[in-house]
Amino acid sequence: MTNPLLQDTPLTDFAVVRPEHVTPAIDALLAEANAALDHAVGPDVPPDYDALSMVLEVPVERLGRAWGVVNHLAHVADTPELRAAHAENLPKITEYYTRQGSDERLYAKYKAIAASPAAAQLSPARRQALAHALRDFRLGGADLQGEAKTRFMALQDRMAELSQAFSNHVLDATDAFAHYATAEELAGVPADVVAAARAAAEAEGKEGHKLTLHFPSYFPVMQYAQNRALRETLYTAYVTRASELGVAERDNSAVMRELLTLRAEEARLLGFANYAEVSLAPKMAGTPAEVLHFLRDLAQRARPSAEKDLADLRAFAAGELGLTELQAWDLAYAGEKLKEARYAFSDQEVKAYLPLPKVLDGLFHIVETLFEVKIRPAEAPVWHPAVRFFRIERAGQVVGEFYLDPHARPGKRPGAWMDSARSRWLRVDSHRLQTPVAYLVCNFSSPVGDKPALLTHDELTTLFHEFGHGLHHMLTQVDEMGVSGIDGVEWDAVELPSQFMENFCWEWDVIRRLSAHVDSGEPLPRALFDKMLAAKNFQSGLQTLRQVEFGLFDMRLHTEADAADRVQAILAEVRQEVALVPVPPFSRTAHTFSHIFAGGYSAGYYSYKWAEVLSADAWSAFEEEGVLNPETGRRYRREILEAGGARPAIESFKAFRGREPRIDALLRHQGMA
């Protein structure tokens, strides 16, 4: 039987991919990639950009795409068999990329290209890709020799294993919890959430209503359940996941300690003072001190708003809800009640107007209007019946394609993300243009009965956020591998297009078009939208401090010499410095902080706020010139989206905005000006 992971087809046949395909495919593709690397560093291949690309790019791209499929399925369709296949092959994959990235012979050839007169003749995109390659060789250990290089390669293997273990522990701890609540316990919880919980229990042949720690189940209970004991039960389970307070084999304590220790050792091997300096080398921010100053300055600006937010919440909770001692499991509930009282609407009321099919129509209309494309449903094999596939076209030509996997389910990691299934690339072997394909993954509630899935307004902004990443990946016009789409974009600028898209969720003309009541079909009433707008910056001060808290914690973990032994203590110190809301001593937030322990955000979580300055300032151009102005959209598309990583992000920003970024727009948008 043909192995689908070895098929050189435009799209993977997900319907037939099985765990037993993984090892044979990866072994075959690794053999090809290793042979290509050995050829590339040999005497037959001159230090010439085209010659090296011809030898290396095709087998490395094939390997990356196949492993990308395996990695993707491990995130959205986890099974014991797939997890075992992933774990078996992860060390081999890590070893190959570490070997390629640290090969001093290949590094020497790229240095020779950069030093030759021919370098000046390279296209701007190729010059940028070459500069990135040289930087990445240095960060990849190519300057190391002997025992230092051997140790560096061993570190990469072990850190990859640890990151995967961290992620598995979070997923398993999330999946393992269930609480079967009575109807009485669920007083106040929205009917659609109760119905979904009842259906989940029925599917298992159980009585009651199955509540889980997956966000569409967990958060509405925290927001709406009148039963304080139920909220405390779920909160306690949620914040102690994957910690020493739960099942030992899912405890991430030792994983975090070892990861931080090994990252610090990697930094020393590369000649850096700490891992944060390694992380910042390819980013916009220059030093850890610059990031710490940025975060603390933002905290200082947000603190007056946050103090008022908390005082208002405490006064309301004591006076109206009888909660004189506000606990962590009361915050979402009291906040929702205060919002309802102050602005006379609830998230649940808004949710009835945001059925997913209508939302998608509205989102696609914005993209089509501003960026001069058409989005059409298309056919492709998928990994789950809920997944849909779409094609983006301009003037009848395919620009990009994407899979949309919207709903939460067991075996799917929590959160939302965009990932690359395939990058735009002018293939060196055939000179044929390969168009990009994206995975867009969310964890929304599933449809119940004959009703479509409904989104909260927060989930609406999540969808727009991930679609922004997707547009950055799919609308690129750069043909050079490594700097097309999101590839090569500085990590602290990569959130610009995603956060930019969130702003549309606060525009009346947009909301009117993408809303339709699930029963009547009526668009969201203007009066309700005005209440939402008035509540837009509700608790924005507290939310900003929360993001600063995460960013400071992350940066301190990766700069301080004793951090591996003081994870919980550092988090407590950061909270003492910036947080206003007390957290129970049993909270183990760090143990599920996948962004920095299993994602790409280690010593980079500050990027969300850093990029928010850029995105808010970019959005202000649309406020000035018209939110759906095609001229502004065309300029944004050409200077930001199409440019990808082919030039520094600050150059792309200035090409669009005509000046350096300013923080004013962010403060104004969040009501903190």
Residue 331 predicted with pLDDT over 80: yes
Average pLDDT over residues 469-476: 98
- The rounded distance, in Å, linking the Cα atoms of 121 and 127 is 9
- Structure confidence by residue, pLDDT tens digits, 182-197: 999 999 999 999 999 9
In this prediction, residue 560 carries a pLDDT of 98
In this prediction, residue 671 carries a pLDDT of 86
- Structure confidence by residue, pLDDT tens digits, 288-328: 999 999 999 999 999 999 999 999 999 999 999 999 999 99
Q: What is the mean pLDDT of the chain?
A: 96
**Tokens 């084999």 found at:** 249
> Percent helix, strand, coil in the chain (nearest 5)?
60, 5, 30
Average pLDDT over residues 455-466: 97
Three-state SS string over 336-392 comes to HHHHHHHHCCCHHHHHCCCEHHHHHHHHHHHHHHHHCCEEEEECCCCCCCCCEEEEE
Q: How confident is the model at residue 439 (pLDDT cuts 50, 70, 90)?
A: very high
Asked whether 423 and 436 are in contact (CB, 8 A), the reply is yes
The helix (H) or strand (E) run that includes residue 216 is helix 215-224
Nearest C-alpha neighbor of 541 from the set 348, 343, 673, 346: 673
Beta pairing class for 209-211 and 179-181: antiparallel
Residue 262 predicted with pLDDT over 90: yes
SS3 assignment, position 645: coil
Just list the catalytic residues.
466
Q: How confident is the model at residue 641 (pLDDT cuts 50, 70, 90)?
A: very high
- Structure confidence by residue, pLDDT tens digits, 200-218: 999 999 999 999 999 999 9
Q: How confident is the model at residue 672 (pLDDT cuts 50, 70, 90)?
A: confident
Residue 673 predicted with pLDDT over 80: no
Q: pTM for this structure?
A: 0.91
In this prediction, residue 421 carries a pLDDT of 97
Residues ≥6 apart with Cβ < 8 Å to 251:
169, 242, 243, 244, 591
- The rounded distance, in Å, linking the Cα atoms of 210 and 178 is 6
Q: How confident is the model at residue 144 (pLDDT cuts 50, 70, 90)?
A: very high
In this prediction, residue 134 carries a pLDDT of 97
pLDDT > 90 fraction of the chain, expressed in percent and rounded: 96
Phi, psi of 502 (to 5 degrees): -60, -30
Q: What is the DSSP code (8-state) at residue 484? A: S
In this prediction, residue 236 carries a pLDDT of 98
In this prediction, residue 1 carries a pLDDT of 65
Q: How confident is the model at residue 448 (pLDDT cuts 50, 70, 90)?
A: confident
- The rounded distance, in Å, linking the Cα atoms of 494 and 368 is 22
- Structure confidence by residue, pLDDT tens digits, 569-626: 999 999 999 999 989 999 999 999 999 999 999 999 999 999 999 999 999 999 999 9
Q: How confident is the model at residue 490 (pLDDT cuts 50, 70, 90)?
A: very high
In this prediction, residue 575 carries a pLDDT of 97
Bridge partners of 437, per DSSP, are 401, 422
Beta pairing class for 437-444 and 397-407: parallel
- Structure confidence by residue, pLDDT tens digits, 29-44: 999 999 999 999 999 9
Bridge partners of 454, per DSSP, are 355
- The rounded distance, in Å, linking the Cα atoms of 466 and 473 is 11
In this prediction, residue 582 carries a pLDDT of 87
In this prediction, residue 188 carries a pLDDT of 97
Bridge partners of 422, per DSSP, are 437
The amino acid at residue 259 is L
Q: Count the neighbouring beta carbons within 10 Å of the beta carbon of residue 396.
A: 6
Q: Which residues of 561-585 are buried (b: 16+ CB within 10 A; e: fewer)?
A: eebbebbbebbbebbeebbebeeee
Average pLDDT over residues 510-518: 97
